[in-house]
Amino acid sequence: MVLLHVVFEHAAGYALFAVKEVEEIGMLLPQVVEASVLNVGKFSSVVNLSAFFPFKSAQTALENINAISEGVLHADLKLFLETNLPIGGKKKALLGVSDAKLGAALQEDLDLSIQTGGVVAEIIRGIRLHFHSLVKGLTAQAASKAQLGLGHSYSRAKVKFNVNRADNMIIQSIALLDQLDKDINTFSMRVREWYGYHFPELIKIVSDNSTYCKLAKLIGNRKELSEESLEALEEITMDSAKAQAILDASRSSMGMDISPIDLINIESFSNRVVSLSNYRQELQEYLRSKMGQVAPNLAALIGDVVGARLISHAGSLTNLAKYPASTVQILGAEKALFRYWGSPSLLGVRMAAVMAGQGWIGSG
């Protein structure tokens, strides 16, 4: 006859349950097992607590849960099973576990017969539901506090040692960079339309959005523009011919007159757009430095922005490195990847280089 024991990992400690009438349970349909699991009275007649090993501290609980999550047999669990699990004799012991990785580790180290899924999964679900009732001295409130504390500690440790945390910074940066590009273009269009009523000729002379907003802020009322402002215009446009053309156009402009309150609002809005443009440049420098640290080879092949978009599409640098060449080629064919890039054909050449050396796209 086979004796089925089930090991259950809880935030409060390890518990070993002996299952009664295992042969009858094995013949039951899943619906019948589920019905017995939901009733604590019926379920108590199915399982019996054999042993309970409480964790001494929160740190011990965290160490054990980390080992279980990685499929590693912790020394505490090994000692607990060796002490309380009946190994040897006429009756063969069968151990039920919830995690297949942990089951493989137990089978290798302790030479046990392991069972996962099926009836074991239903029994573990019932143990999880009625655990505080099956263990004497453990209340539902104490079990809930232990689970909450261990959950916070485990999540905090996972976030702290997340291997993708540098990738996440790149993904968020490229998303913000794209959003800033859209917002700056939209806001600059509003400034052009708004200030264009007063000085329509400026749009034809200056095409750059950031430069236009700086000029709108500097010029203000075009009628007040004089030779003294020529040096300031040259400083912004970086072109003496354009500066002179702006000055000449202001003297013969066909634009309407504008009130001081309107100029104040236009200048304020232009100042916001200029500050956004400056922040975008700072963000691009930050992205360039991050790509140089995390994926220098990828940045050298296809550039910082496109490389960051590839990482964002893949979800992480690790996922991108594992992609087959066909998947990388499909990602490279998307229009969003060579937005603000220039020539798609040049991107295709560099994408081919990525596919040829995708094993070293990271930090090498």
Amino acid 85: pLDDT: 82
CA–CA dist 85, 187 (Å, integer): 71
Instruction: Tell me which residue of 236, 235, 234 sits closest to 214, measured CA to CA.
Output: 236
Amino acid 43: pLDDT: 78
Question: Residue 8 in contact with residue 131, Cβ under 8 Å?
Answer: yes
Amino acid 182: pLDDT: 93
pLDDT digits (tens, 9 = 90+) for 191-200: 999 999 999 9
- In degrees to the nearest 10, what's the CA dihedral of 247, 250, 251, 256? -170
pTM of the model as a whole = 0.54
Amino acid 142: pLDDT: 87
Question: Residue 316 in contact with residue 298, Cβ under 8 Å?
Answer: no
Instruction: Tell me which residue of 61, 70, 134 sits closest to 105, measured CA to CA.
Output: 70
**Least confident segment among 4-18, 30-44, 334-348:** 334-348
Amino acid 162: pLDDT: 56
Question: Residue 47 in contact with residue 126, Cβ under 8 Å?
Answer: yes
End-to-end, the C-alpha distance of the chain in Å comes to 57
Say yes or no to pLDDT of 5 above 80: yes
CA angle 245, 250, 254 (to 5 degrees): 120
HSE of 247, CA atoms in CB hemisphere, 13 A: 17
More confident residue, 338 or 296: 296
More confident residue, 92 or 19: 19
CA angle 206, 212, 213 (to 5 degrees): 180
CA angle 162, 318, 156 (to 5 degrees): 10
Amino acid 27: pLDDT: 45
**Least confident segment among 21-35, 163-177, 215-229:** 21-35
CATH 1.10.287.4070 intervals, the chain: 167-302
CA angle 49, 50, 52 (to 5 degrees): 80
Instruction: Tell me which residue of 18, 14, 22, 15 sits closest to 5, measured CA to CA.
Output: 18
CB neighbourhood size of 322 (10 A): 11
Residue 342: pLDDT band (50, 70, 90) is very low
Helix and strand counts by DSSP (H, E) for the chain: 19, 5
**Least confident segment among 74-88, 162-176, 331-345:** 331-345
Distance, C-alpha 37 to centroid of its chain: 37
**Least confident segment among 8-22, 82-96, 254-268, 304-318:** 82-96
More confident residue, 148 or 348: 148
The share of the chain scoring above pLDDT 70, in percent, equals 82
Q: What is the mean pLDDT of the chain?
A: 81
Question: Residue 337 in contact with residue 306, Cβ under 8 Å?
Answer: yes
Question: Residue 303 in contact with residue 341, Cβ under 8 Å?
Answer: yes
Amino acid 175: pLDDT: 92
Looking at the structure, give the CATH architecture of the domain made up of residues 167-302: Orthogonal Bundle (1.10)
**Least confident segment among 90-94, 275-279, 289-293:** 90-94
pLDDT digits (tens, 9 = 90+) for 99-126: 888 888 888 888 778 888 777 888 888 8
Cα radius of gyration (the chain):
34
pLDDT digits (tens, 9 = 90+) for 282-336: 999 999 999 998 888 888 888 888 889 888 888 888 888 888 877 776 766 665 5
Question: Residue 69 in contact with residue 61, Cβ under 8 Å?
Answer: no
What is the topology classification, in CATH, of domain 4-159? Nucleotidyltransferase; domain 5 (3.30.420)
H/E stretch holding 3: strand 2-9
Amino acid 341: pLDDT: 43
CATH 3.30.420.220 intervals, the chain: 4-159
Say yes or no to pLDDT of 230 above 80: yes
Question: Residue 135 in contact with residue 15, Cβ under 8 Å?
Answer: yes
Question: Residue 93 in contact with residue 114, Cβ under 8 Å?
Answer: no
